[in-house]
Structures are given as structure tokens and as C-alpha cells.
């Protein structure tokens, strides 16, 4: 009888550690990312579109994906912020000009 309860308790603990905690951490990181989005940030959307944030409102943003091409998106569509290369900065050591991403864990 007690071994069954201990086994079930162990399974619940394992479920919590492997499923619930990492999901909670991801949710916190995503919420922080959305709270920190500012005008001028380069971001990546859920659909893989790169663009610059031009307007930020409570629940949506305006993203410039090409010169004079702007789209309005729900904030939750943002999945990562990229590190925009500063003007006049040297290229990366490996010679590429791509900017690194800051993905969700």
C-alpha cells in the first residue's frame, strides 16, 4: 500500500520537475521579452519574419519588415530579439555580417 503511494508521489514529483518547471521558466522569459520590447529593436516573429519595431502599444506592435513596409502584429508573435549591429562596428570575427539571436530557452 505504502509503496504504491510512494511510487505515485515520485511520478508526480518527476512530472513537476520535467514538465511544469521548464514551462513556467519559458513563460517568464517570454513575458519579460514582451515587456522589454522597445521602438528600434530588431525582432523575429513566430513566422520567422525579421523586422524593426516602429510602434509599441499595449497588445500590438508595428513592425517594419522592409523600407516603407509595415505590418501590425500581436505582441505575443515576437519570439526573439536580435542584437542589431551598431553603425561603424567591426564585422564579427568569423567574417559574417549576421547578427546573433537571443532565442527562448
Encode pLDDT of 19-39 as tens digits: 999 999 999 999 999 999 999
pLDDT at 92: 45
List the domains of the chain with CATH numbers.
2-87+96-102 (2.30.30)
pTM of the model: 0.64
Encode pLDDT of 44-94 as tens digits: 999 999 999 999 998 999 999 999 999 999 999 999 999 764 343 444 444
Q: Secondary structure of the chain in the HEC alphabet? A: CHHHHHHHHHHHHHHHHHHHHHHHHHHHHHHHHHHHCCCCCEEEECCCCEEEEEEECCCEEEEEEECCEEEEEEHHHEEEEECCCCCCCCCCCCCCCCCCEECCC
Q: Is the pLDDT of residue 1 over 60?
A: yes
Amino acid at each position: 500500500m505504502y509503496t504504491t503511494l510512494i511510487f505515485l508521489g515520485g511520478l508526480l514529483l518527476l512530472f513537476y520537475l520535467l514538465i511544469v518547471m521548464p514551462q513556467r521558466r519559458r513563460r517568464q522569459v517570454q513575458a519579460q521579452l514582451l515587456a522589454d520590447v522597445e521602438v528600434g529593436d530588431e525582432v523575429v516573429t513566430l513566422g520567422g519574419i525579421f523586422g524593426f519595431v516602429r510602434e509599441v502599444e499595449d497588445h500590438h506592435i508595428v513592425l517594419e519588415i522592409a523600407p516603407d513596409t509595415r505590418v501590425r502584429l500581436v505582441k505575443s508573435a515576437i519570439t526573439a530579439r536580435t542584437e542589431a549591429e551598431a553603425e561603424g562596428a567591426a564585422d564579427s570575427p568569423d567574417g559574417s555580417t549576421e547578427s546573433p539571436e537571443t532565442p527562448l530557452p
